[in-house]
């Protein structure tokens, strides 16, 4: 009785060999990825608003991930502008609500305060030269400074003084945020924010955000 082959042609055998080699490569890569995953330290940052979660992540990027790209710095300009507007709005708005209330050191600045409260609080507000002039002059008014000194009596972002001191720098069309500016910038964390970096060949993966209470690592 004769013997029959398995019916595979040379072409079929070559194809089968290629598939096995491809599977081996995939398996090898999966093992490599698994090893990296297991060697990564995963950190969840939880905390209330303005507790410093984002600042920690930004510091890690500056120290271990080459900082921020020019594009990222450019995107931060709008946030910094809003920080300045919110700061001067909050301080000048608190002057009349504190007990006892605080008056402007220079009454001639009242129209500037009115502008800040009425115009810059509008949703479609644009940062005009008028806004910058009023903000700079008001920030140097003794009454506004006194109100800032009492900021423990109302809620004010912790970077208010830092950015209001830098109004004449930030207002320039050529302004590019420094690393310190980005660290000081305050933005409400929404959604999930993460970063990965390596320290002494040890991998870290940090995740933070208001949704963290509803998520966990796989």
Counting the structural domains of the chain, the total is 1
Decide if 50 is inside a domain: no
Decide if 116 is inside a domain: yes
pLDDT over threshold 70, residue 61 = no
pTM as predicted: 0.66
Query: From the annotation, which residues make up the binding site for GTP?
Result: 50-55, 158-159, 183-189
Decide if 189 is inside a domain: no
Alpha carbon distance 131, 195 (integer Å): 36
Which backbone phi and psi does 204 adopt, to 5 degrees? Answer: -125, 145
Contact 87, 156 (CB under 8 A): yes
143-169 mean pLDDT: 96
Range of the domain at 133: 73-184
Query: From the annotation, which residues make up the binding site?
Result: 50-55, 158-159, 183-189
Decide if 215 is inside a domain: no
Decide if 195 is inside a domain: no
Decide if 204 is inside a domain: no
Query: From the annotation, which residues make up the binding site for Mg(2+)?
Result: 54, 189
Q: Supply the pLDDT for residue 214.
A: 43
CATH number of 120's domain: 1.10.400.10
Decide if 211 is inside a domain: no
């Amino acid at each position: 009785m004769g013997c029959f082959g398995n019916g595979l042609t040379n072409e079929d055998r070559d194809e089968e060999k290629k598939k096995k080699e491809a599977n081996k490569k995939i398996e090898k890569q999966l093992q490599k990825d698994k090893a990296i995953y297991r060697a990564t330290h995963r950190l969840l940052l939880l905390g209330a608003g303005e507790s410093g979660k984002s600042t920690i992540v930004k510091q890690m990027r500056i120290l271990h991930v080459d900082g921020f790209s020019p594009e990222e710095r450019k995107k931060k300009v709008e946030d910094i502008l809003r920080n300045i507007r919110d700061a001067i709005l909050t301080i000048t708005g608190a002057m009349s609500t504190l007990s006892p209330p605080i008056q402007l050191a220079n009454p001639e600045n009242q129209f500037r305060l009115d502008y800040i409260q009425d115009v810059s609080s509008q949703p479609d507000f644009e940062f005009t030269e008028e806004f910058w002039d009023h903000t700079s002059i008001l920030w140097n008014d003794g009454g506004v400074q006194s109100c800032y000194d009492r900021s423990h009596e109302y809620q004010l972002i912790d970077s208010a003084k830092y950015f209001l001191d830098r109004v004449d720098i930030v207002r320039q069309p050529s302004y590019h945020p420094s690393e310190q500016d980005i660290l000081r910038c305050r933005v409400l964390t929404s959604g999930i924010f993460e970063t990965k970096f390596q320290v002494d060949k040890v991998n870290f993966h940090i995740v933070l955000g208001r949704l963290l209470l509803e998520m966990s690592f796989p």
